[in-house]
Structure 1
Amino acid sequence: VKITKAKAFPENVELAFEVPTSTGRLQSLHYSISQIPSGSGYRPRKADERVGYFTTTYQDFGKLTQADSRVRYINRWHLEKADPSLQLSPPKQPIVFYIEHTTPVRYRRWIREGILHWNQAFEKVGISNAIEVYYQDERNGAHMEKDPEDVRYNFIRWLSNNQGTAIGPSRVHPETGQILDADVILTDGWIRHYWTTFTKVMPKIAMEGMNPDTLAWLRDRPNWDPRVLMCEPSQRAYVLKELEAHAHEPYGGHALTKSDSVMMGKNEYDGLADRTCQVNGMCTLTEGKAFDVAMFRMMYAMMAAEDDDGEKGEAASGDPNKAEDPNKPKEPKLKKKAEPMIDDMPESFIGPLLSDLVCHEVGHTLGLRHNFKASSVYRLSEINSKEFKGNKPMAGSIMDYLPVNINFEDGEIQGDYGMIGVGPYDMWAIQYGYTPNEAELPAILSRVAEPELQYATDEDTYGPDPLARRYDFGSEPLDYAKNQVRIAQHNRGRIINELVKDGESWARTRQAYEMTLAMQLRAVSMMSNWLGGAHVYRDKKGDKDGRLPIEVVSAEKQRNALNFVIENTLNDEAFGLTNDLLVRMSVDKWWDDRSSVLEDATWPIHDRVMSIQASALASLMYPSKLSRIYDNEFLVSSDQDALTLPELLTTISKAVWSELDAQYEKTFTTREPMISSLRRNLQRVHMELLVDLAESGSSSSAANKPISDLALQQLRQIRTKADRMSRNQADKMDEYTAAHLKDVSTRIRKALGAHYVLRSL
């Protein structure tokens, strides 16, 4: 055993050891031991589920009932007015943060601004300048005597390691919930990431919001698992083996069951379970920010190229006043190149985005949990308006995972790219946590039904509420989803001429296309979450304008979401693939990035498209999704409109097999088939999914029997139509289509036969 670090401070000791593990490798273990203060006069405050705070929890065995014996306090700082008689007073002792000297100078003011955003919320409870910020500066020696590992000081730490990380952990008194010290750790990877790979980002997008029942179903049917569908074909056996190794885990291996209360930082639920004091053990906000920054870089490069070409064209034509083509799509309203730049991006973009990130992490250090419903407060038209821009935050809370706001063909105003301060929910949460007069708390909490105070946190994201979602945006997410698809489609048409410059590799074509594909899938995944959805509210009986806890999503919104998913995944045109694009989608092979060496120089067209289509179809037809729809039919009064299982399955089948209802006049060839290769793959996937649903053991849900019966009915109808087309239009049919329909008929017949044999046993 080797001691690699030993530091002693007045209130804590830091020790690090290098020890051999059972595998023979050396591992570093760091121990941080600090004393717990006493006699501070701090009074704990009870937690309430209407407001999202980390908690300190214990059981009082002197009480008999569960409600009385479970004690939950919110985690918060001991913040008091210096002069209680003043309406607005400075604090007795402010919360002080030091920005570490390792932080690049170009970022420092934006980090400071993000921290100080919270002072606006504390002013609402009568405390001015509750938070103070100082720069640690190596050049003039300012605050260099302070060590970030000394618990007497709160630091914003900066690491340049090419990793995209941001986290705001804290140290909490285990008896009262008083926050004693906190630090924010930032890394620069999310700013550096120019591209992100298909196999890295796409499965995460597709898996967003999956509940334990769905994960358990996928465990037995890994052929529908996005982690399998979207990996490289050569890697599928390996991924399958990895998934099989965890097949025994409860709740389908959901991340919530694998959170770590000690070795935190690998699981999104770390720090929440099996601890007396909850802390922010992991925050993945930078993953989404890295994607959005990469997308912005690409779009900005395209705009710069178009500006250059436009200037050259005007100079050559001698007609700078030539009228603009009214039919030409309008560009996203991004800033012009002339403004100050930071790391090849406009400072007006990346600066506020960094403040947004820091403000979020500092919110964790103040005790606040994530609020993934806060993005649903305002309409896009409001966010991109003069009234909001520069004046009002674009969401209810900074504690959401918010995408970058880029307005495209949706009004004349480009609103703020990110949050410009804390939101109304944040003000309300700070008011509950830090208001000195406890008699005011019931009135504060009774505001829960106000539209701007929507709240849902990590454990709500796999529930039925479609608004409890990471990276959705706006009170009508369908509008945002359409905006994202418009941007993706527009960018695809500009990759060849405006992104890849003379002397650059055509590999950028593949990278850029896959980014647009990820943007499209994020929109599709977001909207598939609305099927079978129900809004969940935390209002208590007697709250002002209190809502019922469950409200089924309207049938109209569910149908609109279904149509969006169909339109943007099940049709060939949705992917914008052209010969000109595909022949340029190559890859650079460098040994210092070994993954690229193993990639094929030609893009796997059918494999990629089928993986997205299979994932999208499955997201609409998972047994857990169908069970929710079936239950919602019961929740909604019979005299009201509701989306039903027969309607859902029929709508999907009609979209997938639309060719079977057509009457063709022309004769098709293998070069111009009746049913395209992409559509044949889609139909095969849909048929196999219906067969899985028809199996009696497809799900343990009580809805399994009606789901199975309806799946069988769909299969019979598809077979009947396929046989009819094979008979009636055989003379017009190409060989691919003929063989495909024959195979469809045969496989359905066998599946139906196997089903009835199983039922008779």
Structure 2
Amino acid sequence: MKKYLVVTLLFAFITATIVVADEKKEKPEFPSVDKIVKKMTPLKGFLSLYKKNEELYALVPSSKFNKPFLLAMTISSGVYGGMQWDHMMVYWQKQGKKLLLMRPDLRYRAEKTTMKNVVNRTFPATIIRAVPIIGKNGSNYLIDLAGIFKSDIAGLSAVAPFLIGGRLQLNPTLSSWNKVKVFPSNIELGVKLAFTGTKFTGDENFTDTTDPRRSYPLSVHFSLASIPSSGYKPRVADSRVGYFGVAVKDFSKKYNERNKFNRYINRWHLEKIDSSLELSPAKNPIIFYIEKTVPYRYRKHVKEGILEWNKAFEKIGIVDAVIVRQQTKTQFADLDPEDARYNFFRWTTNELGFAAGPSRVNPMTGQILDADIIFDDSMLRYAASSHNSMNNALALIKSDAKFSKMIERLGKLSPLKRLQHLIPQKEQIRLQHKQNLLSVMRKRNIPVCTHGEHKGQQLRLAYGMMRAAGKKDVPLAFIGQFIKEVTMHEVGHTLGLYHNFKGSSWLSIDKINSSDKPAATSGSVMDYNPINFAPKGTTQGNYLTTTLGPYDYWAIEYGYKQVKDAELQKIAMRCAEDGLSYGNDLYASIVDSDPFIFRWDLSSDHIAHAKQNMKLLQQLSNDILQRYVSKGEEFHPVRQAFDMLLAENAYSCIVVARSIGGQFLHWDHKGDPNARAPFVVVKAEEQRKALQFLNQTIFTSPNFSSEVLNHLAPGTWWHWGTNELDAIATYPVHDMVTAYQTLILFNLIEPMTLMRLSNSPLQVKKGEEIFTIADLLDGLTDGMWVELNAFDKEKKYSNSEPLISSFRRNLQQVYLSFWIYYLLDDEMQMPIPADAKSVALKNLSSLLEKIQNILENKDNLDSTSLAHLLKSKYHITEFIDE
């Protein structure tokens, strides 16, 4: 009996053990992949994908864990459709029952084992997304890709209000796949993201509030691609030549080394097939596909713009470095422009008037892996401006981040205060969303190129000129040159080149408009070169730069010539040669010091160019009614043209104003041939000429035709897709003129300019003439109050012939406000030099004395000038008496 009991118990134990083991076998850690994907369509490649309707799964083998690959994102529809948005190096990592998409912090590196561990521990990778493992086969793990790519991994929620236009939130449940392609080295995924909320419209509330649950699509394309290992050798960046680049802090360096960073330029892996040949075909040529969407009439000019760079590559021995292929309905038709393997030139209709040429690089080496160019069709629609009044004035401020911040600190003195109430709320919202978008792009290190935005306005100038010559339209040959130049600029970016805003200072305006007609009107196509318009009656050179400048050849030589490091330094040492001047975005603000590092300036003599522009603008203004409106048309285009001419006139003066307090910047290294000092103060004589020019132009009273002013009709269209409506019917001519004058006046006396003027006497060699704060403030005072010296005691002034015109009265009130509330009052808390305060007080005292002398003969004054002088006396006296 006991034996039987023991056997029974033993049998029961073994049975229970077997059952438990069976239960464990029946409940694996993860379900079988085969069962899950049984009814799904398999797609084999870089990763194995399985798709059924909106279900999309990926099988990630453990062999791919911790191995980096490229994740690239492109906005594939909507505003900025076709724009490369972001890219990053990522890898897979398993954590429990989840797969993590990790992004390493590649800014820090160490090659030595001990320091490498310390760096990795100090600067760990971040988790981009975590998704549950839903199945397993061996060492392969199945995940749902919706958790990654239908989320806001691209970070578009922050900019959806601008890209779509509304108050919106991402709704992953309504998002859908619109493209899934798998290849051996990459995967291409298209996602139509759904944003739910209210959209801006043309009604008075600016939103469609009928149904806040509506969803609006915004498509994003994701590329997951292997990173090629092709023996690419990074090239060291040099401050004398402008390239985009990557910077890595290297903890392997010795402690006594001054530079802790490795800086590499962005460039393609481009080499000769046979390095022994003086001229050799490229081993890995850069291939651009012109998308089939590009209009037929423009394809020739796009192709020419792309291939123009072959001239620079041939000079360093590489033939056919850049190749162009035309996509058609049959040729290359299956290539996706968003695919990270292909470089495309794309046509868009974003209604923004811009072009861009971003690229994607290996963040560890700077090797360019992919590049795309987008060209907005609306840039060429010059005849129908989408801008309403005031946009030109705002553009001068909003496009300049440094200057904008200065303007914001002015408070009630800001010229924007004169304009803000004139801008429809809808337009204010649109402009704010655009600024938010640009801010997000900069924070994500997405290069922002606004090269095309101002070009559209320049085409409107061309339109006015052609109309005067009896032509109904701008010739296609001119438009072709325009497209070619913009294309050259953007291709330069895709080759790695940064902006060079000093390139346009290479030639004088007389040389550009000489009978020689140089093809290169600028030292670089990487500048924002304006169209060169010569006034009627003078020699007209090339309107646009139609080929590369000397800087462009030099920059390509530095970036792509196959040489040893010692030879590379010899190339960079040529920086002081004629035509190789360089200055990028970092110091191109209105408030920065170098007058030649600027956008939309031209020639080595800014005053000569400004005089040419002003003569041209006057010619256009004289018969504006004939140039910009035809029989049977409404008169609103005249108002738009008038706005444009005012803005162009003011911009010419801003360019000249930057010479005052100016200092040329040079990046020469010690020991370079003909090395220049980093700072060279603009000659005092040139600064005096600039101030005299401003006093005789922008600060004087404009002479507008009453007929023109009576035809500045407001825009009245108010519906979706247009912002032509003007907030007020009557054109605010005084507000506009005073706003531009205020911009330039503030530019002359803003803190950075005054600081440089304070320092410059110490930087000029003994015996050389100097230009000081006193020279500036005294010169401004004399110029703005010249009527006080011209007062004739024997003359009886009237309101129709006043002592001081209405424009000058406004300007003089601005002057007083700046001298009292900005230079002398500490309320602004601006870093104003003590000398500026002293000179300003002296000027006010002298001004008060002159005003009092004139008021002794007040019976001879017109009533408005009298009131103006009494008010001026009151403000000065009130301040001084305090």
Q: Residue 738 of structure 1 aligns with which residue?
A: 866
Q: Residue 12 of structure 1 aligns with which residue?
A: 187
> Does residue 354 in structure 1 map to residue 543 in structure 2?
no
Contact 2:353 2:453 in 1 (8 A): yes
Q: Provide the rounded CA distance (Å) in 1 between the counterparts of 2:731 and 2:831.
A: 43
- 1:691/1:33 CA distance change after superposition, 3 Å: same
Q: Provide the rounded CA distance (Å) in 2 between the counterparts of 1:544 and 1:69.
A: 27
Question: What amino acid sits opposite 1:618 in the alignment?
Answer: F
- Equivalent residue for 2:244, pick from 54, 68, 73: 54
Shift of 1:232: 4.0
SS of equivalent residue, structure 1 residue 177 = coil
Q: Residue 108 of structure 1 aligns with which residue?
A: 299
Q: Residue 438 of structure 2 aligns with which residue?
A: 266
- Equivalent residue for 1:75, pick from 266, 289, 300: 266
Contact 2:521 2:542 in 1 (8 A): yes
After superposition, give the CA deviation of every residue in 1:656-679 in whole Å (9 maximum; x if it has no partner). 111211232221222332222222
Shift of 1:163: 2.7
Q: Residue 230 of structure 2 aligns with which residue?
A: 40
Contact 2:358 2:373 in 1 (8 A): yes
Q: Residue 308 of structure 1 aligns with which residue?
A: none
> After the TM superposition, which residues 212-361 of structure 1 pair with which residues of structure 2 at under 5 Å, given as runs?
215-233=404-422, 266-267=438-439, 270=441, 281-304=447-470, 337=471, 344-361=473-490
After superposition, give the CA deviation of every residue in 1:242-293 in whole Å (9 maximum; x if it has no partner). 99xx9xxxxxxxx9xx99xxxxx624x945x675xxx6x2210111111100
- Equivalent residue for 1:697, pick from 826, 841, 850: 826
> Does residue 420 in structure 1 map to residue 546 in structure 2?
yes
- Equivalent residue for 1:3, pick from 157, 170, 176: 176
Shift of 1:699: 6.5
Contact 1:198 1:518 in 2 (8 A): no
> After the TM superposition, which residues 215-614 of structure 1 pair with which residues of structure 2 at under 5 Å, given as runs?
215-233=404-422, 266-267=438-439, 270=441, 281-304=447-470, 337=471, 344-389=473-518, 392-408=519-535, 411-412=538-539, 414-438=540-564, 439-462=566-589, 463-572=592-701, 575-592=702-719, 595-614=723-742
- 1:230/1:569 CA distance change after superposition, 3 Å: farther
Q: Provide the rounded CA distance (Å) in 2 between the counterparts of 1:684 and 1:266.
A: 35
Question: What amino acid sits opposite 1:382 in the alignment?
Answer: K
- 1:95/1:9 CA distance change after superposition, 3 Å: farther
Contact 1:99 1:155 in 2 (8 A): yes
Please, which moves more after superposition, 694-703 or 603-612?
694-703
Contact 2:397 2:404 in 1 (8 A): no
SS of equivalent residue, structure 1 residue 375 = helix
- 1:556/1:409 CA distance change after superposition, 3 Å: farther
Question: What amino acid sits opposite 2:438 in the alignment?
Answer: K
> Does residue 182 in structure 1 map to residue 309 in structure 2?
no
Contact 1:198 1:514 in 2 (8 A): yes
Shift of 1:496: 3.0
Shift of 1:615: 2.0
Contact 1:168 1:183 in 2 (8 A): yes
SS of equivalent residue, structure 1 residue 266 = helix
After superposition, give the CA deviation of every residue in 1:711-744 in whole Å (9 maximum; x if it has no partner). 11111111111111001x2221122122221111
- 1:701/1:517 CA distance change after superposition, 3 Å: closer
Amino-acid identity (%): 34
SS of equivalent residue, structure 2 residue 191 = strand
Question: What amino acid sits opposite 1:479 in the alignment?
Answer: A
Q: Provide the rounded CA distance (Å) in 2 between the counterparts of 1:647 and 1:237.
A: 44
After superposition, give the CA deviation of every residue in 1:554-613 in whole Å (9 maximum; x if it has no partner). 1111111112222222211xx331222212222242233764444333212222222222
SS of equivalent residue, structure 1 residue 540 = coil
SS of equivalent residue, structure 2 residue 774 = helix
Q: Which ranges in structure 1 are unaligned for 5 or more consecutive residues? A: 247-254, 260-264, 305-336, 755-761
Shift of 1:239: 7.2
- 1:595/1:216 CA distance change after superposition, 3 Å: closer
Please, which moves more after superposition, 541-550 or 32-41?
32-41
Q: Provide the rounded CA distance (Å) in 2 between the counterparts of 1:137 and 1:120.
A: 27
- 1:411/1:396 CA distance change after superposition, 3 Å: same
> After the TM superposition, which residues 163-178 of structure 1 pair with which residues of structure 2 at under 5 Å, given as runs?
163-178=352-367
Q: Residue 147 of structure 1 aligns with which residue?
A: 336
Please, which moves more after superposition, 48-57 or 691-700?
691-700
SS of equivalent residue, structure 1 residue 443 = helix
Q: Provide the rounded CA distance (Å) in 1 between the counterparts of 2:216 and 2:627.
A: 50
After superposition, give the CA deviation of every residue in 1:97-156 in whole Å (9 maximum; x if it has no partner). 110001100000000000000000000111011111011112xx1111211122221111
After superposition, give the CA deviation of every residue in 1:38-72 in whole Å (9 maximum; x if it has no partner). 43111111111111111122122222446443111
Q: Provide the rounded CA distance (Å) in 1 between the counterparts of 2:773 and 2:448.
A: 38
Q: Provide the rounded CA distance (Å) in 2 between the counterparts of 1:163 and 1:595.
A: 12
Contact 1:223 1:229 in 2 (8 A): no
Shift of 1:385: 2.5
Q: Provide the rounded CA distance (Å) in 2 between the counterparts of 1:449 and 1:627.
A: 27
Please, which moves more after superposition, 223-232 or 69-78?
223-232
Please, which moves more after superposition, 598-607 or 419-428?
598-607
Q: Indicate the structure with greater strand content.
A: 2
Q: Provide the rounded CA distance (Å) in 1 between the counterparts of 2:651 and 2:459.
A: 15
- 1:522/1:197 CA distance change after superposition, 3 Å: farther
Q: Residue 311 of structure 1 aligns with which residue?
A: none
- Equivalent residue for 2:309, pick from 118, 136, 157: 118
Q: Provide the rounded CA distance (Å) in 2 between the counterparts of 1:508 and 1:238.
A: 18
- Equivalent residue for 2:382, pick from 182, 188, 193: 193
Q: Residue 619 of structure 1 aligns with which residue?
A: 747
Q: Provide the rounded CA distance (Å) in 2 between the counterparts of 1:717 and 1:161.
A: 55
After superposition, give the CA deviation of every residue in 1:344-376 in whole Å (9 maximum; x if it has no partner). 321221101101101111111111010000000
- Equivalent residue for 2:762, pick from 593, 609, 634: 634
Question: What amino acid sits opposite 1:187 in the alignment?
Answer: D
Contact 2:803 2:862 in 1 (8 A): yes
Q: Residue 310 of structure 1 aligns with which residue?
A: none
TM-score, L = length of structure 2: 0.73
Q: Provide the rounded CA distance (Å) in 1 between the counterparts of 2:538 and 2:195.
A: 61
Question: What amino acid sits opposite 2:176 in the alignment?
Answer: I
Shift of 1:637: 3.2
- 1:21/1:635 CA distance change after superposition, 3 Å: farther
Q: Provide the rounded CA distance (Å) in 2 between the counterparts of 1:732 and 1:649.
A: 30
Q: Which ranges in structure 2 are unaligned for 5 or more consecutive residues? A: 1-171, 199-212
TM-score, L = length of structure 1: 0.85
Question: What amino acid sits opposite 2:324 in the alignment?
Answer: V
Contact 1:373 1:467 in 2 (8 A): yes
> Does residue 669 in structure 1 map to residue 798 in structure 2?
yes
- 1:381/1:395 CA distance change after superposition, 3 Å: same
- 1:598/1:81 CA distance change after superposition, 3 Å: closer
Question: What amino acid sits opposite 2:753 in the alignment?
Answer: K
SS of equivalent residue, structure 2 residue 220 = strand
> Does residue 205 in structure 1 map to residue 378 in structure 2?
no
Contact 2:823 2:840 in 1 (8 A): yes
Shift of 1:410: 7.6
Contact 1:227 1:239 in 2 (8 A): no
Q: Provide the rounded CA distance (Å) in 2 between the counterparts of 1:20 and 1:695.
A: 51
SS of equivalent residue, structure 2 residue 318 = coil
Question: What amino acid sits opposite 2:541 in the alignment?
Answer: G
Shift of 1:518: 1.3
- How many residues align? The count is 683
Q: Indicate the structure with greater helix content.
A: 1
Q: Residue 646 of structure 1 aligns with which residue?
A: 774
SS of equivalent residue, structure 2 residue 246 = strand
Q: Provide the rounded CA distance (Å) in 1 between the counterparts of 2:441 and 2:503.
A: 22
After superposition, give the CA deviation of every residue in 1:456-494 in whole Å (9 maximum; x if it has no partner). 001021321110000000111211111111111111111
